[in-house]
């Protein structure tokens, strides 16, 4: 028999080894999944993980990896503050959508002005504030009415989805779009477009913001008093109280950071790869970022690597769909396996497996 024996303290080795083991396990189980639908498992795994970086068409796929990783990393970095402190903002998807609406709203309000130096910075501020305002709803309800921030933030996602569909066919609909839903294409509006900074690299302002957030968060969590309070609250709320941590203030700050970064991610997406407000605006980055945050162990560098890995599964999954005719639902199942694999092997962090002899009746 195998018995799980609780460790005296979490294993440092397994804290960093389990994400790697989860990726390997996902490849193995995913290979079996592809085999059951009649596809070559080795070719499928190669197409997803190898070809976008080193394959024949890597020059096309590689920039897409950076574009997909940017919102994932930016949102996951924001979420990591709250998760480390035991504050659960599960509604980053809604904050991401509202940030996109607010940022695009600023661009459309100034259309067709060409004052590029002013419009795009205002869009960034609007995206940030939009995400913050949406995040403040569960934060204030948690602080003043002791509601569950998980349920409130999650339900607000569906409200945000309704709002973006309403704006795409209402207030923000393109007057020159012949009645079709969707706003003007911001990529065709130079003052508001989030284009590549270096042609062919996929590096736009959203990627730069994601990299800056990684560095800034590493410094804050390692060197700043606020980072110490965040870690202390997550590890021992009672000790944090004795240390003078204002719990309500910490909750508000964590929601401001996570909501603001999610809103900025939405702004960079709508001004760049997506290009317009539409009912089918690229979704689920906010939910996928939760996987990225935990796969990266809530560490800034780990989140950066996890974001790149998850983006690789998006881009490689699209390549596998096109090259091998693999159903999109199968690719989504494969991506979901990564979270389940991480949860299953994460038990090794706090428990040690022991082989014991089976006792007779």
pLDDT per residue over 31-50, tens digit each?
Answer: 999 999 999 999 999 999 99
Distance between CA atoms of residues 302 and 297, nearest Å: 6
pLDDT at 335: 86
Q: Which residues contact 326 (CB under 8 A, 6 or more apart)?
A: 34, 37, 39, 44, 317, 320
pLDDT per residue over 346-361, tens digit each?
Answer: 888 888 888 877 665 5
Q: Is the pLDDT of residue 333 over 70?
A: yes
Domain spanning 69-325 has what CATH number?
Answer: 1.10.3470
Distance between CA atoms of residues 254 and 258, nearest Å: 6
- The confidence band for 251, taking pLDDT boundaries of 50, 70 and 90, is very high
**Least confident piece of the model among 83-87, 91-95, 188-192:** 188-192
What are the distances in angstroms from CA 19 to CA 24, 286, 293, 343?
Answer: 9, 20, 11, 10
Which has the closest alpha carbon to 297: 107, 21, 92? Answer: 21
pLDDT per residue over 271-329, tens digit each?
Answer: 999 989 998 888 789 999 999 999 999 999 999 999 999 999 999 999 999 999 999 89
Strand pairing of 2-6 and 351-355? antiparallel
pLDDT at 360: 58
What's the average model confidence in pLDDT over 122-138? 97
pLDDT at 361: 54
3 state DSSP class of 284 = coil
- In the chain, beta strands by DSSP E: 2-6, 351-355
What's the average model confidence in pLDDT over 106-130? 90
Residue 285 tokens read as: 């980055």
Better pLDDT: 135 or 202: 135
């Amino acid at each position: 028999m195998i018995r799980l024996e609780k460790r005296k303290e979490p294993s440092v080795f397994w804290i960093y080894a389990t994400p790697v083991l989860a990726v390997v396990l996902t490849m193995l189980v995913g290979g079996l999944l592809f085999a059951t639908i009649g596809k070559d498992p080795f070719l499928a795994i190669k197409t997803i993980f190898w070809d976008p970086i080193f394959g024949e068409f890597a020059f096309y796929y590689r920039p897409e990896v950076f574009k997909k990783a940017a919102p994932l990393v930016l949102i996951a970095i924001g979420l990591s503050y709250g998760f480390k402190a035991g504050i659960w903002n599960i509604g980053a998807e809604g904050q991401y959508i509202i940030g996109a609406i607010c940022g695009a709203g600023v661009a459309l309000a100034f259309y067709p002005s060409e004052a590029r130096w002013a419009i795009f910075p205002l869009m960034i501020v609007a995206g940030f504030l939009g995400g913050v305002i949406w995040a403040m709803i569960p934060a204030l309800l948690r602080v003043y009415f002791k509601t569950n921030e998980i349920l409130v933030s999650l339900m607000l996602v569906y409200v945000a989805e309704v709002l973006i569909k309403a704006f795409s066919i209402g207030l923000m609909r393109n007057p020159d779009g012949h009645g079709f839903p969707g706003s003007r294409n911001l990529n065709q509006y130079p003052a508001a477009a989030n284009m590549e900074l270096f042609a062919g690299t996929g590096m736009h302002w959203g990627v730069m913001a994601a990299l800056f957030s990684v560095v800034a968060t590493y410094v804050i969590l390692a060197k700043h008093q606020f980072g110490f309070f965040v870690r202390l609250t997550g590890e021992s709320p009672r000790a944090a109280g004795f240390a003078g941590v204002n719990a309500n203030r910490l909750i508000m700050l964590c929601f401001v950071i996570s909501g603001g970064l999610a809103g900025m991610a939405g702004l960079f997406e709508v001004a760049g790869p997506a290009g317009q407000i539409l009912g089918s605006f690229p979704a689920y980055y906010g939910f996928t970022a939760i996987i990225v945050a935990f796969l990266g162990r809530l560490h800034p560098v780990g989140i950066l690597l996890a974001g790149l890995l998850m983006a690789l599964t998006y881009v490689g999954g699209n390549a596998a769909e096109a090259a091998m005719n693999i159903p999109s639902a199968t690719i989504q199942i494969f991506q979901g396996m990564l979270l389940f694999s991480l949860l299953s092997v994460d038990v090794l962090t706090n428990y040690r497996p022991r082989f014991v002899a089976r006792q007779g009746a």
